[in-house]
Amino acid sequence: MIDPQTIAGIIREIAQAEILPRFRRLHQEDIREKRPGDFVTVADLATERRLTERLLDLAPGSVVLGEEAAAADPARFRLLAQDAPVWVIDPVDGTTNFARGQAGFAVILARVERGVVRAGWIYDPLDDVMVTAEAGAGAWSAGARLEVDGEPATERMSGAAYGRTVAGPRAAKALADSGRFAGTRNLGCSALEYIALAFGRAHFSLHSRSLPWDHAAGMLIVAEAGGVVGFLDGTPYDPRTADRAVLAASNRIAWETVRDIVGVLA
């Protein structure tokens, strides 16, 4: 395995060169919609391109599955079914925030081998916070091992929830209205939701889709920080599955309470 700090240095270098200089300096022609409401910017494209080049140079024989490359060619998702190690990139998670000039975006990178997430990195360039994890070796930031909050009382817990329940309400509203949690707050950036969990600042993060560039690294990071992760139906997380609800929580009580309240997401 390549030194995780080497990879972290590459992510930080590219983010500071391609993302930060463009923050709040984008022109109209620098932003477009891949689909209605799904934005991509020149920063996304440049960051993914440079990360792809550096990672392939560093690890010959590996392949790259980037969010933007997959948007252009959905067949690239099949790379996760092959034997070669796969780097999974979300160059700017929280692109909508970034395009609007709002804080709340990050870079996500995961290394997947034969369907198993072996390592993950999340980098918040505005606050210069890097979180890393290797399977079986813990989650780390700035030399400190991270641990989720062990708070057992759900009425003191808060977190994020995206998607709608089968009954109709948004998952965040269903959780807030239940009276069983302190509240919900969606940041519009799954990467930052996972960072909050790993640092003990949040207790759950629920998402209606399991796209690997959004979740592979974060699910590993939370698990390595002592949390509970998986698909909402209770089955283990698998980065090769893109269209199922995923839930990460600080402990089993939080995980099961969220699942009981929202049931199934539409």
**pLDDT tens profile 75-132:** 999 999 999 999 999 999 999 999 999 999 999 999 999 999 999 999 999 999 999 9
Give the count of beta carbons closer than 10 Å to the beta carbon of residue 170. Answer: 18
Give Cβ neighbours of residue 119 (< 8 Å, ≥ 6 apart): 1, 4, 7, 110, 111, 132, 133, 134, 135, 220
**What structural domains does the chain harbor?**
4-145 (3.30.540.10), 154-261 (3.40.190.80)
pLDDT at position 1 over 70: no
Amino acid at 261: I
- The answer to whether the beta carbons of residues 78 and 135 sit under 8 Å apart is no
DSSP per-residue codes, 33-62 = EEETTEEEEHHHHHHHHHHHHHHHHHSTT-
CA atoms within 13 A on the CB side of 6: 8
**pLDDT computed for residue 37 by the predictor:** 83
The one-letter amino acid at 69: A
Residue 59: pLDDT above 90?
yes
Q: Is the pLDDT of residue 70 over 80?
A: yes
Over residues 202-260, the pLDDT tens digits come to 999 999 999 999 999 999 999 999 999 999 999 999 999 999 999 999 999 999 999 99
Give the pLDDT mean for 37-61.
Answer: 96
The pTM (predicted TM-score) of the whole model is 0.97
At 35 the pLDDT is 84
User: What sign does the CA torsion over 65, 67, 72, 77 have?
Assistant: positive
What is the spatial distance between Cα 82 and Cα 66, in angstroms, rounded to a whole number? 16
Higher pLDDT, 38 or 136: 136
Q: Is 231 exposed, middle or buried (0-12, 13-18, 19+ CB in 10 A)?
A: middle
Give tens-digit pLDDT for 9-47: 999 999 999 999 999 999 999 999 988 888 999 999 999
